[in-house]
């Protein structure tokens, strides 16, 4: 049984804890949060030891794996310490606040041999995995154009309002939109050129819209958290191939000259391995990414999906080419 130390018990830490409680071969052995009640909530029903700060956990806990779900501006500091302690580290996305920090992490990973996975969870989300397979199969011909959107109400849960402090989170461009940017880069590579706009009124980077030009197709990527709470969160895509359109917009659909049909994805078994948190399909791609991560750790195998170098490359593209774009 591998022992996991989870640092940061807020929104994403809670999601990860629910996944770990449903995964086999691992146990939540330590949790840390500066808000004791948050750590206590996650430790409930487990034997996890509670720490009042991530550094105390790294210094004192008996763990094989560390998972960092801290606000983004703290990722680098804690990840560098964690890599001295464990051989497997999970860091939420975006990997770091700056490119220089993610480069430091890569250096430390090479020095220590610590395998690092980053929470670029869209790479593990069922519909996006299915789309990757469809593109690779070439069965509908080449991609002609594509569009990926992530539209969200304003996130209101962050500890000490860190999400809305652009210097701490990078705004929606870095926090939310990076999901689609990372996925598009993983699917198509870097574009030949791009044109990108972001909002100029109000909070920096809270709306980003980018068109990417590839050799023979075009991809649009749009993200915002500028919507009111009454607006539903939407993560959608539409990919136009020579012989079909694949669309994920509430329903996952295939349109061809022969007609329209729903693409059905078999959901994972609902029975929770740990029996604690119910429905695995509710945990979506988070379960899938942590299943992969823990299986690699249990096998002592390298992390090859959503690896540190991939997340660092996506962050560099986002910060240096997209968000700093000037016409």
Binding site for ligand NAD (CB under 6 A): 7-13, 32-35, 38, 53-54, 69-72, 74, 92-93, 119, 121, 157-159, 175
Asked if residues 75 and 91 have their Cβ atoms less than 8 Å apart, the reply is yes
Minimum gap (Å) between residue 88 Cβ and ligand NAD: 18
**Closer of 28 and 134 to ligand NAD (Cβ):** 28
**Closer of 134 and 318 to ligand NAD (Cβ):** 318
Minimum gap (Å) between residue 196 Cβ and ligand NAD: 21
Minimum gap (Å) between residue 323 Cβ and ligand NAD: 16
Minimum gap (Å) between residue 25 Cβ and ligand NAD: 22
Minimum gap (Å) between residue 53 Cβ and ligand NAD: 4
Using a 10 angstrom Cβ sphere, with 0-12 exposed, 13-18 middle and 19 or more buried, the burial of residue 276 is middle
Beta strands in 34-75 (DSSP E): 49-51, 65-68
276 to 270, 273, 295: CA distances (angstroms): 12, 8, 20
**Closer of 39 and 131 to ligand NAD (Cβ):** 39
Q: How many helices (H) and strands (E) does the chain have?
A: 11, 14
| 199 DSSP 8-state letter | -
Minimum gap (Å) between residue 83 Cβ and ligand NAD: 17
Please name the residues in contact with 89: beta carbons below 8 A apart, sequence gap of 6 or more: 65, 66, 67, 68, 79, 82, 83, 114, 115, 116, 117
Please name the residues in contact with 103: beta carbons below 8 A apart, sequence gap of 6 or more: 312
Cross-strand pairs, 22: none
**Closer of 109 and 152 to ligand NAD (Cβ):** 152
Q: How far apart are CA 151 and CA 279, in angstroms?
A: 25
**Closer of 3 and 75 to ligand NAD (Cβ):** 75
**Closer of 161 and 213 to ligand NAD (Cβ):** 161
**Closer of 145 and 203 to ligand NAD (Cβ):** 203
Closest residue to ligand NAD, based on beta-carbon distance: 10
Minimum gap (Å) between residue 138 Cβ and ligand NAD: 30
Asked if residues 68 and 96 have their Cβ atoms less than 8 Å apart, the reply is no
Minimum gap (Å) between residue 17 Cβ and ligand NAD: 11
Asked if residues 263 and 252 have their Cβ atoms less than 8 Å apart, the reply is yes
Q: How far apart are CA 21 and CA 7, in angstroms?
A: 16
**Closer of 106 and 254 to ligand NAD (Cβ):** 106
């Amino acid at each position: 049984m591998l022992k996991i130390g989870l640092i940061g018990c807020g929104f994403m830490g809670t999601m990860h804890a629910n996944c770990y409680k449903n995964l086999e071969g691992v146990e939540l052995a330590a949790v840390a949060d500066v808000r004791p009640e948050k750590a206590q909530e996650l430790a409930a029903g487990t034997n996890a030891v509670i720490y009042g700060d991530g550094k105390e956990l790294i210094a004192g806990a008996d763990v094989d794996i560390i998972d960092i779900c801290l606000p983004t501006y703290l990722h680098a500091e804690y990840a560098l310490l964690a890599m001295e302690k464990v051989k497997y580290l999970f860091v939420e996305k975006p990997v770091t606040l700056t490119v220089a920090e993610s480069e430091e992490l890569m250096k430390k990973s090479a020095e220590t041999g610590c395998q690092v996975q980053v929470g670029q969870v869209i790479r593990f989300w069922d519909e996006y995995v299915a789309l990757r397979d469809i593109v690779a199969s070439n069965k509908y011909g080449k991609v002609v154009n594509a569009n990926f959107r992530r539209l969200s109400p304003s996130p209101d849960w962050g500890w000490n309002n860190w999400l809305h402090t652009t210097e701490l989170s990078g705004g929606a461009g870095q926090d939310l939109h990076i999901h689609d940017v990372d996925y598009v880069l993983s699917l198509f590579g870097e574009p030949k050129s791009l044109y990108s706009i972001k909002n100029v009124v109000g909070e920096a980077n809270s709306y980003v819209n980018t068109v990417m030009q590839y050799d023979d197709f075009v991809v649009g990527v749009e993200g915002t958290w500028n919507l009111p709470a009454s607006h539903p969160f939407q993560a959608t895509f539409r990919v136009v191939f020579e012989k079909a359109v694949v669309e994920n917009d509430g329903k996952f659909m295939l349109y061809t000259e022969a007609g329209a049909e729903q693409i059905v994805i078999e959901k994972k078994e609902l029975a929770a391995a740990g029996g604690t948190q119910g429905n695995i399909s509710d945990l979506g791609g988070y379960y899938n990414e942590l299943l992969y991560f823990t299986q690699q750790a249990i096998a002592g195998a390298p992390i090859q999906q959503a690896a540190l170098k991939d997340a660092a490359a996506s962050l560099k593209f986002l910060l240096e080419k997209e968000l700093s774009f000037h016409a």
